Chain A
Amino acid sequence: MENAIHVMSSSGMPALGLGAGIPGSHDNELIEAPEEEEEFDVLNDETFGNCEGDWDEEEHKRFAELEGESFFDLQPPDHTKDSGYGNAERSYRSQEEFLEQSISRLMEEEEDDKAKFFGKGQPIPFSGRQQQVSPKSRNIWGTPSHDSQFRKPADALRKLFDTAKAGQRGAPSPAPQVYHPPMPTQSPVGLPQAHTLEEIERQMMSRSRTPQVITAEELERQMRGEDSPRGEYSRTPQVVNHHPQIGPPPQLPPGLLPASALTGEMPRSPFPPGMPPMPLPHHMAMHPPMTPPPGKPPTGMSPINQHPMANGRSSPINIKGLPPGQNLSSPMGRSSSTPTPPLVRGMPPHFQSPHPARLVSPYSIGNSPMAVNLASRMMTPPPNMPPHGHIPHGPIPHMPPMPNSPMGTPPHTRIPPPSNMQDMSPHSRSQQQHHHVVDRRQEIYSQHGNGEASDKHRAYRTNYQRPPPWQKNQPQRRQHQHPQQGEEVEDEYAGLMTQREKDWIIKIQLLQLNTDNPYLDDYYYTYYTLRKKQEESGHTDSMARFLIPNFAKIESRAYTPAQFEGSLGRLTTASVHNPRHIIDVSGGSSPSEDSSKKNVSKELRKFRQLLMDIEKGYILLLDVDDIEKKVFAVPEDSRLSLFLERHEKICMLYQYFTSDESIEQYMQILSVRKGRKLLARVLPLFTKNQAHVALCILFHHMQALVRKDAAEGGLVSLTRPVCRAMEGSDLESLVRLVNILEGEKPPQTGSYLQTLLKNQFSAAVLCGLLNQAEQVFKDTSPVDMDNQLQTEWSQFVEEFAEGLEKMALKDLPVATFLLPLTEAHLSRHLNAQLVGKVEEKVHRLTTPLQTTASSNAAS
């Protein structure tokens, strides 16, 4: 000790500068030192030139050993913390350490001032050991200015550690160990550095163990230079760390305020910067304190505190080391660790104002002259403060002197806010939540005492007997506050997910909805919205279509991962878009059927094959449809290719229906509903010639179809397309069609008509024929028409009429399709008498009932 003291007295710039303080080896060190000591502080080198020589490696190691011993001696008292997770803590804290150091470098200058401030006559502000060492040494045995200057970097670091650490060090008085008997071998001159090293090392190591929490009171005491009752508070901060909901037990008046928590809270509520720091600490208390600011307590304004973001939601390691202002700008500060760091960084400059208010401890604000400063600073909201940021509380209302526990704050100071709250809209209320937060919580605390807090620590099983903590408060509220309290208790947590986070989620979800092919991915929804839009806009514009954008990109679907030639096996790199191909699942052939069931299966197979064929046809049709939709999305020049493609597809469809093989299958196809539908949809696509041929084929099969269809009547779906297809036909085609209808066999006049007329479809077709014929006759002068055709046609008409006459009215199907010209046509060709006979029936066949459906058909 004596030696140490002696050494201290003679320490100072000269000792360092000359390097004379260290025995012999030091000279060597001087030469060697620079290369070895990269890890030393850069500023150190700049400011002090050779002083890195002071960091004698050997001695350093020795000190480390000693340090370690002394350090470990302290362990026993800290059993609770050292139960094995201490190692993890250490490594975890070392990371913090590095960050803190880097930050400390940023803040060096500022710190130095503060260090000086601290240095002046502060015996033991807090965090016992370290603090005890340095100030004492400085104050007593060295000129403060010299010392602080000399130790600038070291002090800076130390200050960092000191202020950062809460009194976690706990009971054991560090003093004895701190002044571990200095190495007898050390020269006196060298000792000051030794101590410095020692201290720093100790701090480093101890720093790595303690949670970085500083109580607000300690901060305040620092500023005021009072003695702090270390013993009281040394243990409590740890306890507080684990409070999930309620917050620190009441006996922790400073409420374990990580100043960082304060800061974390501030950005969260962009509004009333006037939000008194008073309530803040308690609110902070709700969130387990995180790494405290590397202590710039004086003004408490260190922006560094941002990152700790004491919200208990983010990992304490999550110190982003952001430059001061930025973390503030993180969305509500809360999300610093959550969604994405980029989000954190990119915030709008909203929350600049809380900047000053950041590290304010209630006490400091309350008592120190800084209070006014802070207050005034807090009062100036940033220009772009959100509109809701009206300050209900007025300027710093809640800076009552805090000699005692904030828990015990008289309720009267708490009431004004709530009453204010009541006036506000729920929206603003939720945003002002943190007013309530603190208020409410304080009331809760004050009214419920300590017992509840400790309960929260226990497993919830013990809570079985109690109602959930948030319910407990209800009965004790004053009546008028009762409903409000309940909501507010929820509202306290209401803004946990900030709008930015929500937007982030929404963005991801929208991204997932992006599709190149809405018709493929979400067919029904697509059509639904289209239809809705159409209805909205009135039936004016034609149905808008979703463009199918960027079709060219679809090609990449067939992406096969790169495969390597000449390699053993298949080497592929798996990625998200191209996962490993583990199992080859191809449409395997079904196992052969049991022979006993062969016939049945054969039929089934045939049927399935038929269905498959129809499907193929359908796919062609759908492709045509898609092309039609694609056309709009594609610039003019490329459209041609699409048109060609479409044409090609249509031809294929034509082939589908008219080739020889398919003719054989024709009946089968048309016996399946889907086949009919296919034909119905395809007919309009055909050119006239194609349509004609298709009709011929259809008519060819008409008889058979009708016979088959007698039961089902499914052919009606074809009615309209067939009739439409017939439109525009000339007489010759019509005659041909009729001839086909009559069949090859020698026509029994009218007999074929019987069957045809019975079926709705065929009857409609016949009438359609007549309808079209009338159209033809109307349009062309008799001169142009072929006589023979006319004769044939007239014949047909007569047959038609006669056949119709023979049938009873009731047997005739009712028309669904309006064929206005048929009657006229009949009268053209037939004598009045015959016309009269069949008039009614024709009417029935050609004029649908006046229902909405038929009116649609008419239009």
Chain B
Amino acid sequence: MSGYLPGTASLVEEIDKKLLVVLRDGRTLIGYLRSIDQFANLVLHRTIERIHVGKKYGDIPRGIFIVRGENVVLLGEVDTENEKNLPLEEVSIDVILDMQREMQIAKEQEEERKRKALQERGMHFTEQPEDFM
């Protein structure tokens, strides 16, 4: 809780810090927060998009991001000291993208299977995913 904003939190204190931001579409961005506004739109600098699949992750450098505030699920400060000591294994971007694709395919197949099963039982179900993960 900051002094000037008692009882609440403000992103002002997070400026120029390295943050991890999770977006509504499931993406994870890590970057330095450079600027904000009253809607919590974020300007991220030196952003990398980190894709996690299982115990592996891969980083894609993205540069500068401007994120509309409503799309942020959560954000948190990255511990710069310990961020080297992750229990996860970093792999190259291509590898992680492949893995992600496989995971996506597997998920879709699973969904398809379920849908078929339901359909056999006479239920037609369409799900509208709004926010991912």
Contacts and interface: CB of A to CB of B under 8 A. Distances in A.
Given A470-B46, A525-B7, A529-B6, A497 B60 contact: no
Given A506-B5, A509-B8, A510-B4, A464 B93 contact: yes
B57 interface: no
Residues of A contacting B: mostly: helix
A501 B32 CA distance: 17
A800 to B, nearest CB: 53
Interface in A570-588: none
Nearest to B49: A460
Contacts of A497: 15-16, 34-36
B46 A464 contact: no
B8 A506 contact: no
Contacts of A470: 46
Contact of A494 (B6, B12, B16, B63): B16
A496 B94 CA distance: 33
A493 B44 CA distance: 11
Q: Which of B8, B16, B35, B60: most chain A CB closer than 10 A?
A: B35
A490 B19 CA distance: 14
B85 interface: no
Nearest to B46: A470
Interface string A501-516: 1100110111001000
A378 B5 CA distance: 39
Interface string B34-60: 111110000101101000000000001
Interface residues of B, number: 27
Nearest to A335: B35
B34 A493 contact: yes
B63 A509 contact: no
Contacts of B7: 513, 522, 525, 529
A463 interface: yes
A245 interface: yes
B36 A505 contact: yes
A509 B5 contact: yes
A502 B5 contact: no
A342 interface: no
Nearest to A430: B16
B48 A468 contact: yes
A410 interface: no
A510 B32 contact: no
A506 B46 contact: no
Contacts of B6: 529
A244 interface: yes
Contacts of B71: none
B104 interface: no
Interface in B102-133: none
A76 interface: no
A62 B35 CA distance: 52
Contacts of A505: 10-12, 36-38
Contacts of B36: 497, 505
A305 B12 CA distance: 31
Interface in B1-25: 4-8, 10-12, 15-16
Nearest to B13: A502
Contacts of B4: 506, 510
Given A467-B61, A468-B48, A497-B15, A509 B35 contact: no
Given A468-B48, A493-B45, A245 B63 contact: yes
Nearest to B32: A490
Nearest to B34: A496
Q: 10 closest pairs, A vs B, by CB?
A: A468-B61, A464-B93, A496-B34, A497-B35, A508-B38, A525-B7, A494-B16, A502-B12, A470-B46, A497-B15
Interface of A: 244-245, 338, 460, 463-470, 490, 493-494, 496-497, 501-502, 505-506, 508-510, 513, 522, 525, 529
Interface of B: 4-8, 10-12, 15-16, 32, 34-38, 43, 45-46, 48, 60-64, 93-94
11 contacts: A244-B64, A463-B61, A464-B60, A466-B61, A490-B16, A493-B16, A496-B16, A496-B43, A497-B15, A497-B36, A513-B7
Given A460-B61, A529-B6, 12 more contacts: A338-B35, A460-B62, A464-B94, A466-B61, A493-B16, A493-B34, A497-B16, A497-B34, A501-B35, A505-B10, A506-B10, A509-B10
